[in-house]
Amino acid sequence: MANSGLQMLGFSLSLLGLIGLIVGTIMPQWKMSAYVGDNIITAVAMYEGLWMSCASQSTGQIQCKVYDSILQLNALQATRALMIVGIIATVAGLGVACMGMKCTNCGGDDKTRKSRIAMTSGIIILIGLCSIIACSWFAHDIIQAFYNPFTPVNSFEFGSAMFIAWAGAFLAVVGGCMLAASCPRGKSSPRYPMSKAPSSTKEYV
């Protein structure tokens, strides 16, 4: 029963992590303009994401533009790929988990086989570690540019989308670990041989 609860909790965390990964990947607020100079009153705030860059005006109007050329994106392409791989792995792992969880009827009635399927789904979801690598890589680039003396005054800092993607990747990995922990348990064999009961029948000559 405890193993079934662990599977349910792992599945729920992985599902929440998947939602966070998708939302974080789509949102354009991966990095936002940081004004560290003397003049902090600005009329336009800049946002940049994995797919587009946006400008938010003080009037509330937001204009977004998709990146024109992929040749100028450099490391952004690798971040895109790692995030997409993490999303695909989490979706595939959740699909496999539906067949291996004890609370479902898929995958047959063999409890040992279902536990192995659930463990396999957790291992697949653990590929979501590449999403954590992508967020950390992107954050490293932002930090380097922020402290670079040749960077303009209006540099960039962490945006909300990156924190959402970070949280989603962490939840997916934790959920995958819980599913992978549902290892099949073999039947325990007795340590000592069972002694045969004495026969109640007696032979008479």
Contacts of 149 (CB under 8 A, 6+ apart): none
Direct distance between the N- and C-terminal alpha carbons of the chain, in angstroms, rounded to an integer: 57
Amino acid identity, residue 113?
R
Q: What is the mean pLDDT of the chain?
A: 77
| All structural domains of the chain | 6-29+71-180 (1.20.140.150)
Give the model confidence (pLDDT) of 70-108 as tens digits: 665 667 888 888 999 999 999 998 888 888 777 666 656
Amino acid identity, residue 50?
L
Position 7 confidence tier, pLDDT thresholds 50, 70, 90: confident
pTM of the model: 0.77
Give pLDDT, residue 15. Answer: 92
